[in-house]
Every structure is written in structure tokens, then in C-alpha cells.
Structure 1
């Protein structure tokens, strides 16, 4: 987990450095990303990645994808806290933080709107480039990913409750180039 945090810091610092080269002094940018609620590094495997792994395992059992390919899949994911993100931005020094907001994207949402279709298509949007690059056959693999995911989430009735227990937050930060 510490290695992921270190790599994230390195990558996000590079992102800021490169964006600073593109913007004029006083230029603004808004960054929105998935983060976590506190500075405590989560010790449990992310619920989102658990779902992706479960869907891919079903696809292996159905012969859609190769087990060896699944075993070699690596998805390094790190969601920073707002304090971690603030620290990285301040240390890099190219931008000042105009405003930062942390919000739970599903708070206040009618839980009935969290349908298996909506959830699995959100996963598709986030992970399609990685899955397609690793397994190939974009249309076939991703269509099967959605079909399998909808079936899996429909059968897993506790998914909404489980999701609510390990929420991710959205971090939105408005930056001004120094």
C-alpha cells in the first residue's frame, strides 16, 4: 500500500508539472478524481476492484478469457485522501488550491438508482482501456464483461449495503497556476 501511495505521488506530481507547462500564469484547471475518506490507508482490498475481479473470474470459468491472462493482470490503484492530495499539490508548487471539495457521489441518491446496469457500466467506463489492452477483442470482451457483471450484481443483493460500508469519495480541486 505504501508503494502505491509513493507511485501515486510521483505520477500526480508529474501530471502537475506537465499541466503547469501548458498553462499561462493565472491559468486555472479543475481536477476530479476518486479518493478515500481519511488519511488512514485502507487495508482491505477495494470493493470496486473486488467486483471487477469477481466478474473476470466468472468470465474465466465460462471460458471467455484465459486464466493465465487473468493471473497476469495488474491494476495498481490508489485513491488519495484530500489531505494527501493537498500535500502533493503544495509540495509540487506550480499551483495554488483555489478550492477543494470532498463528496460522496451517492449520498442523497435514491439507492434504487444504483442498478446493476448502472454500476457495471460505470466499471466499464473506468476499466475498459485496461481490460481491452490486456485481454484484447474490445467489443466481445467488454460486452461480455457487462453481461456477466449485471448477472453477478443482480445475484449479489448485498452489494448496495456493502458499497455503503466502504464508500469512496470524489475529490474535486480547483487549481490556479502560480
Structure 2
């Protein structure tokens, strides 16, 4: 069976990962520690845990889809990813941005600190090389075509404002945030816009994470 893959390096509402990595939750390792030194030390552990979880979930996904397709059938998979096999120093920028806002809310007492520490979003962006290796190891599919597409290339920087970006985050993560913390999205938006507006950091953030 053939498999075509387009990696969309952009914002998506779904990911193939089904749950937070068990080795993180069992060892009570937060996905994001508000202490920067601890966060940097734990980053490789967190990143590798998410990579293992993605591999496990994606193999299961391929196995189940292989049972559904007729011999000779084809499937197209589109998912968030990263453009190279080099792991970024920040394991996933969209996740970083989200939890930085939530960490401010936790420090200000808007959300419960214990709930923040237990908050995991199972998002992982694999590289094309990583996907190819998983698909070949699983063995159900042959790859017909694989492409990486950066949907932000043609984005008008004048339209990329704190308000527009926080609305992207809200559209993606609101159901998960509300389920875990309750109805806090209005404060989430205010905190994010205040952070970027007061610090003037929106363009700096874009420069660091194009």
C-alpha cells in the first residue's frame, strides 16, 4: 500500500499522539517547569519521551489503517512536523508559547499551580526522516511521496499581531485548556495580549521562531 505524507509546519487542531508520555506522568516530571534551569535540564528527557510516545502511537495508527485499506490502496496523511532531523533547542515552539502564558496565569493565581504542573498536551512534530524510518520499520506501507510545506511562508507580517496569534492558540487549544482548568479562556487571551503588548515581544518572538 502506498502512503503520501505532507508535513504541515503550521497550526493544527489534531495530532496523532493519543496521550502524554507515561514515563513523564509516572515520574511526575512536568512537561514544562516554571524554573528555567530545571526546564533546560529536563528538556532532553521530555523531548525523548514525546518522541517515543509519537513513535508508539504512529505505529499503531499505521497498523490500524493497514487493516482498513484494500490491497493496493493509498492513504494521504497530513500532520504537523519540523523541517529537519535536527531537534530544536525548544522542543516545540507552539507548546512553549502556550505554557508560557499558562505559567504566568499560575503565578498570578488565576489557575491552580498543581493543575498547571499536571498539564500535558501530547503534541510532537516529527521530521520527514523520522517519519520515513517509522513507516519503513512498521512495514505495512511504501512511501509514494513525502513533502514538507511551511504554511507561514506567505503570511503577511503586518497581519501577525498579538491578537491574531492568541486567537490561533485559542482555536487550537481551548477545548483542552477548558477541560483541565475550567472557563479561563478570556483571562488566557488577556494574559497573552498583555504579555506581548507590554513587552513589545511579538516581533522578537517571530524573529527567534520564524
Do they superpose with TM above 0.5?
yes
User: For 2:72 and 2:142, how far apart are their aligned partners in 1?
Assistant: 10
Q: Counterpart of 1:21 in 2: which secondary structure?
A: helix
Map of 2:136 onto structure 1? 90
Matched, 1:48 2:91: no
Map of 1:152 onto structure 2? 195
The CA RMSD measured in Å over matched residues stands at 2.3
Q: Counterpart of 1:42 in 2: which secondary structure?
A: coil
Structure with the higher fraction of residues in strand conformation: 1
Q: CA deviation at 1:163?
A: 3.1
Kindly tell me the number of residue pairs found equivalent between the two proteins. 164
Q: CA deviation at 1:162?
A: 2.9
Q: CA deviation at 1:76?
A: 4.0
Higher mean C-alpha displacement, 104-113 vs 158-167: 158-167
Provide Cα deviations, 1:100-143, integer angstroms capped at 9, x if missing partner: 211222112211121222211222233233322322x3xx2223
Map of 2:65 onto structure 1? 19
Unaligned runs of 5+ in 1: 168-178
Aligned pairs (5 A) from 1:108-123: 108-123=154-169
Map of 2:11 onto structure 1? none
Unaligned runs of 5+ in 2: 1-46
TM-score, normalised via structure 2 length: 0.67
